[in-house]
Amino acid sequence: MTDAYKATVIQKYQEKKAIIGILGLGYVGLPLMLRYNEIGFSVLGIDIDADKVTKLNKGESYIEHIPSGKIATARNSGFEATSDFNRASECDALILCVPTPLNKYREPDISFVVNTTEAIKPFLRKGHIVSLESTTYPGTTEEELLPRLQEGGLVVGKDIFLVYSPEREDPGNPDFETRTIPKVIGGHTAACLEVGISLYEQAIDRVVPVSSAKAAEMTKLLENIHRAVNIGLVNEMKVVADKMGIDIHEVIHAAATKPFGFVPYYPGPGLGGHCIPIDPFYLTWKAREYGLNTRFIELAGEVNSSMPDYVVNKVLLALNERKKSIKGSRILVLGIAYKKNVDDMRESPSVMIMEKLRDLGAEIAYSDTHVPVFPKMREHHFDLSSTPLTEENLKACDCVVLATDHDRFDYDLIRTHSSLIVDSRGKYLVPEGHIVKA
């Protein structure tokens, strides 16, 4: 590869003449598509979910915090969605934003990454850049993508380019958007990195290059393991504080007044979402290949994984104090998304709490206007719709479990008309006889 050829490829992005292909149109891929479309690039979205493709091509959104108006505007300015992977050949950049879940053994499942790479492999051509954004273990880009991309004779770093640039979306956070969140990027070669920077610097305010794809992969894991470990710490301290009759939320608020050396993290009913409960296990799994045990990380995982049981036990004890059995009790779970103000259900601890209570014989209902109907999920099954939050419905329940603290909830209404509240989010700081902290 000559410098002149590389410069030609880079110029295509600088002049916004490149066609951007986004593979996977979920919470990561869809905002990225909108950003590239907004600044004048032609964007093609590819997704295996035919229903998503149909909705997008009608100008409709399926993610609550992304308005349909934005999708319609993108459609009117050239965006198109398809399930046809053959059309990858039309794109200059192929950005993979596909899921990387864990299997039932808590081991990495990178089948979506591998299958997507296999699907685009026949359509690779000279000048293509492939960027993986899915969270994964260090080495995935070089061990899984690199050999597959080179099977047809194209050489990475010479004919085509390969980078890893982890997503950093925070759905529902109004303070940040795709453009303003700095973008870490690592390339397989120096040339890959240069082309990758030219791809992302058009759309993102700040691009942060690192020395390799592995370093970028590890960066993403460190970010989320940092959160998981600190949340595990504060969840453990919550249990200790509760035994001592201390409100951990009061302690956190007081500690947060220190202007240095302390960052507040808050306890809850467990970890949810597509990153924080999953990413630590990617590193612990890969570390075993090197004969290492990540005891600190695994301990935090154990603590966080125990929180739904902790909340359920609090419900059992609270009902018992009121001479009620869990079996047959009517329990209303408030908030079933994994965090406040979003409709994302992935790994939601609320659902685990619902299942555990149902298995103990409770009659379960939920209220969450972000999730009007309980969705089809691979591992969790409820035939339920959101219960309106009214005085009558609250009074009809034996216990209300505050699992996700959406801003839409009327907390005064809940406090006034519920006979028993188990609060796992620390919304009710003033002690009252019918409120139990969990």
352, 385 Cβ separation under 8 angstroms: no
Pairing of strands 330-334, 421-423: unpaired
Q: State phi, psi for 209 to the nearest 5 degrees.
A: -80, 145
Q: Give dist(CA 120, CA 154) in Å, integer.
A: 13
What does the radius of gyration of the chain's CA atoms come to, in whole angstroms? 24
Judged by DSSP in three states, 160 sits in strand
170, 176 Cβ separation under 8 angstroms: yes
Type of residue found at 285: W
Judged by DSSP in three states, 116 sits in helix
Q: What is the DSSP letter of 34?
A: H
Among 397, 386, 389, 328, CA closest to 360: 328
Q: Give dist(CA 227, CA 200) in Å, integer.
A: 26
Among 404, 397, 393, 391, CA closest to 421: 397
Q: Is 362 exposed, middle or buried (0-12, 13-18, 19+ CB in 10 A)?
A: buried
Q: Give dist(CA 196, CA 208) in Å, integer.
A: 11
b/e string for 152-183 if b means 16 or more Cβ within 10 A?
eebebbebbbbbbbbbbbbbbeeeeebeebeb
142, 213 Cβ separation under 8 angstroms: yes
Length of the chain: 438
**399 belongs to the catalytic site:** no
Phi/psi region, residue 261 (left: phi>0; alpha: psi -120 to 50; beta: rest), is: left
Q: State phi, psi for 71 to the nearest 5 degrees.
A: -65, -45
Q: What is the DSSP letter of 319?
A: H
Q: Which residue has the tokens 């009517």?
A: 330
Structure tokens, 1: 């590869």
Catalytic-labelled residue, pool 91, 97, 192, 275: 275
Q: What share of the chain is helix, strand, coil (3-state, %, to 5)?
A: 40, 15, 45
Residues designated as active site:
275
